[in-house]
Structure 1
Amino acid sequence: MDKNIMDRAAGAIMGAWIGDALGVGPHWYYDLNELRQDYGGWVNDYTDPKPGRYHEGLKAGQLSQSGIILRLMVRSLVDSGSYDEADFCRRMDTELFPLLNGEPASGPGGYTSQSIRAAWRKRVEQKLPWGEIAGHADTTEAIERTLAIGVRYALTPNLLANAVSSNAVLTQFDDVVLSMTVAYSSVLAMLIQGNSLEPDISEKLMNLVKDGTLPFHAVTREGLKPPQPGDPDPPRAGRFASPDALLSPGNMAMAATDPDIKIEPAWKVSLVYGMSCAIYHMLPAAYYLSSRFKNDFESAVLHAINGGGQNQGRAILTGTLVGAQVGLSGIPARFLEKLEGGEELRGLAIKLAEQAQLKSD
C-alpha cells in the first residue's frame, strides 16, 4: 500500500472539510470593507458567523451544509466500497431532505444552496424520481461532493469521469458545468498520483483525452499542435464538446509561476477572476491559489477565505487541491484539532484514502 498516495488522498478530503469550516463565519461578504470590519484585517482561523449572516447559529469549526453533504458522500463511498448511486440517493432522501423545507436559510449547516433546494422541491414536493430533478445552477455545488469520488477513483480516471459526471448530473444538467466538474476531479486525481499543479498539468490531462481515458472532444494533435490535412474529424470525440476545462488549470498555474504576473496580496485573486458563485469564477481562483501555494496549505486556504464573496466554495476547492499536494501530514495541526468532529472526519478520510489504492471497481 502506497503511504504517499494515502496521505495525499486523505489530505484532499480533510482539506475540503477545513476549507468549508473556515468559510462558515465570513461567508459571502461582497463588501470587503464590511468583511474587514466584522473580522479584522485577516481571517486566520475558524470563526463564528455574525448575527443575520448565512450560517447564523453555527459555531467556529463546524461544517456548513456543503461539508455535511460531502460527509454523506464519503460515508456512502466507504460503506459501499465504491460509488453506488442508489445508496447515495437513498442517503439524500433519508438523511438530508427530511431536514429541509425548500428555503435558503434552513436545514443543517444554516443555509441550503440553490441546486439542493431545487432538487428538494422536485424530489419531495413534486415526487419526481432521481434522474429528473436536476436544475440550472452554474455553481460548484456538485464539485463540493464529487471531489470525494475523485479521491476514490484517483488511480482510475476513466471510472472517475463516469462516476463524477453521473453524480453531478443528478442536480446540475448544464454540460459546461459538468465538463468543468469532471475536469476538476481529473486534476485532483493527478495530484493524488503525485503530480504538482504546474503548467504542464494540462498536457498530462490532454494525453488522457488522446488515449480515450477522459471523455473530452479534441481536435488537436499531440502537444496541442493543429490538425493536418487527412486527419479524421475529430481525432478524438468525447462526451464534452471541448477540452478547455482541462486546459484552464495549466493556464492558471502558468499565471501563478510567471514572474511578470503579480497578484498581491494573493487574496485579490478573487477580484481578478470574480467573487461570485459561478463555477467559471471559482475554478480559476482555486487553480491559481493551489499552484502558487502548492506546498503551503495555510496560505492557500486563508488567501481563499480573505478574498470575500463565495470564499467558502473557493476555500473548499483550494483546500482539496493543496491538501492533495501536501498530504494530510502537511496540514497544520491547529486546523485539524479545532475542526468539530475532526477525529471522525479524519477516520473517514483515511478509510476513503485506503480505497483510493484500488485500481479497479
Structure 2
Amino acid sequence: MPNKNIQDRAMGAIMGAFIGDALGLGPHWYYNLDELRNDYGDWIDGYTDPKPNRYHVGCKAGQLSQAGFILALTVRSLVDCGGYDQDDFCQRMDEELFPLLDGTPVCGPGGYTSQSIREAWRCRVQQKRPWGQTGSHADTTEAIERTLAIAVRYAFQPSQLAAAITDNTTLTQVDDTVVSMTVAYGAVLGLLVQGHALDTELSGKLMELVKNGALPFHAVTHDDLQPPRLGDPDPPRAGRFASPDALLTPSYMAAAVADPEIRIAPAWKVSIVYGMPCAIYHQLPAAYYLAARFHNDFESAVLHAINGGGQNQARAILTGALTGAQTGLSGIPQRFLDRLEGGAGLVKLAEDLASKVSVAS
C-alpha cells in the first residue's frame, strides 16, 4: 500500500466531497452543454456563482449546497458520538435541517432540496411518521453524498460500514438496488482510505470480503465468476443484497482506463458515455472512471466531473471523495481549500473524523 498515512487519506476523502459539492453550486444541472459553455466559458476551473434563474440562485461561489450541509451534519454526528448513532443523526436532521425546509424544491440551505429529503420532510413534519417510515424510491446518489462519511469512519471495519450505511440510507431511500449500490460505493471508498488503489484488482478484494461474510452480498458463482457446478448446494447468504455486481463496477471502469483501445477524450465526456441524469446508475460509473483515470490528480478528476454538465454536482462529490482518498488531503491543491467558504472549519471537522478512523475494530 502507499505510504500516505490513514489520516491524510481520510481527510482527503471528506474534503474532496466538500470541494466537489461547492464546485457544482454554480454550474449545476445544465443538460445543454452549449448553454453551460455560454454561461461559464469553455472550461470551469474553480468555484462559480449560480446564474440568475438557475439552481442555487442567491448562493455565492465557494459555498456548500444542501448536500454539503447534510454531509457536514453527518460528520459532526460521527465525531460527537464516536461512530454512527442513528438516533443522534435523526435528531440533528429534525432540529438542524427540517426547520429550514418547507417541502418545496427551491428552499433551504443551498437554495435547493433534493427529492428524497423533501419526501422525508413530508413524512416527519407533515405526516408525523417515525423515522424508519420515511424512505422513498428515489434512485439518486443522495444517500451516498452523506454516507461517504460513514465509509471513512469505518474504513477498516467493513461489516460495520455496510450495516451503518444500510441503516442510514434506508431512512430516505428504500429501493434495494439503490441501497446495495450505495453500500458498494462505501466499501470501495473504505478500501481507498485503507490505501488500496482503484484498479482492476479492487473488485477482487471486495469479493473476498463477500466470501468472508464481511459484506452483505449474495454470490452464486465461484472464484473468477465461474458458474456453480451440478449438485453444488446453494451458498449461504451473507446478507440482504441479492447480487454483488455493484462491487464489480469499479474494476471494470479501471479496466476501461487501462485499455489503450478505449479512450474518452476529453475525459469530461464521461457524462455523455454514462449519462448526465441524476440516477445512481449514471453517476457511479462516471465517478469510478474519473477517479481511476485521475487517481493522482485531484484537480483533473473533479474539474472533468464538473465540466461534463448534467448532474455534475453529485458526480463531483462522488469523484472528489474517491480521488481525495487516493491523493490524500496533501494532494488537493491549496486553492480549492482557500476559496471554500468555511474551509478551515471543514478541514478541522475532517481532521476530527479522521482521528476516529482506526485499524482496530
Fold shared, TM-score > 0.5 on shorter chain: yes
Retained in 2: the 8 A contact 1:153–1:160? Answer: yes
Q: Indicate conservation of the 8 Å contact 2:4/2:328, yes or no.
A: no
Matched ranges for 1:142-291 at <5 A: 142-234=143-235, 236-291=237-292
RMSD of aligned alpha carbons: 1.0
Provide the rounded CA distance (Å) in 2 between the counterparts of 1:56 and 1:352: 31
Runs of 4+ residues deviating >3 angstroms = none
Q: Which amino acid aligns with 2:338?
A: E
Q: CA deviation at 1:200?
A: 1.1
Equivalent position of 2:10 in the other structure: 9
Q: Letter of the aligned partner of 2:271 in structure 1?
A: S
State how 1:1-361 maps to structure 2 within 5 Å. 4-234=5-235, 236-357=237-358, 359-360=360-361
Q: Distance in 2 between matches of 1:119 and 1:235?
A: 35
What is the deviation of 1:24?
0.2
2:137 maps to amino acid: H
Which SS does the other structure have where 2:111 is aligned? coil
Deviations 1:83-135 (A, max 9, x none): 00000000000000000000100111110000000000110000000000100
CA–CA separation in structure 1 for the residues paired with 2:263 and 2:143: 31
TM-score, length of structure 2 as denominator length: 0.98
The structural deviation recorded for 1:237 is: 4.3
Letter in 2 for 1:284: P
Give deviations 1:184-228, integer Å, cap 9, x for gaps: 000000101111100111111000001100000101112322222
Segments of structure 2 that go 5 or more residues without pairing to the other structure are none
One-letter code of the match for 1:152?
Answer: R
Alpha-carbon distance in structure 2 between the residues aligned to 1:188 and 1:230: 37
DSSP-derived class of the 1:109 partner: helix
Counterpart code for 2:282: H
The whole-number CA distance in structure 2 between the counterparts of 1:257 and 1:51 is 41
Q: Could you tell me which amino acid in structure 1 is paired with residue 317 of structure 2?
A: I
Aligned length: 359
Task: After TM superposition, give the deviation of residue 3 of structure 1 in Å.
Answer: 6.5
Q: In structure 1, how many angstroms separate the alpha carbons of the residues matched to 2:239 and 2:119?
A: 29
1:220-244 per-residue CA deviation (whole Å, 9 max, x = no partner) reads 1123222223322135543101111
| 1:10/1:350 contact within 8 Å kept | yes
Residues in 2 aligned to 1:327 and 1:43: alpha-carbon distance in whole angstroms: 23
Q: Given that residues 289 and 318 in structure 1 are in contact (C-alpha distance below 8 angstroms), is that contact kept between their aligned partners in structure 2?
A: yes
CA distance in 2, matches of 1:250, 1:318: 15
Measured after TM superposition, the shift of residue 356 of structure 1 is: 1.0
SS in 1 for 2:109: coil
Query: Equivalent residue of 1:115, what SS?
Result: helix
Partners of 2:246 and 2:316 lie apart in 1 by 20
TM-score (norm 1): 0.98
Superposed displacement of residue 64, structure 1: 0.1
DSSP 3-state at the match of 1:199? coil
After superposition, the C-alpha distances for 1:26-83 in whole angstroms (9 at most, x for unaligned) are: 0000000000000000000000000111100110000000000000000000001010
Equivalent residue of 2:168, what SS?
helix
CA distance in 2, matches of 1:114, 1:181: 17
- Tell whether the 8 Å contact from 2:215 to 2:238 is kept in structure 1 after alignment: no
**Percentage of identical aligned residues:** 70
**How many Å separate the matches in 2 of 1:72 and 1:359?**
25
The answer as to whether partners of 1:285 and 1:314 remain within 8 angstroms in 2 is yes
Shift of residue 257 of structure 1?
Answer: 1.3
Contact 1:153 1:159 in 2 (8 A): yes
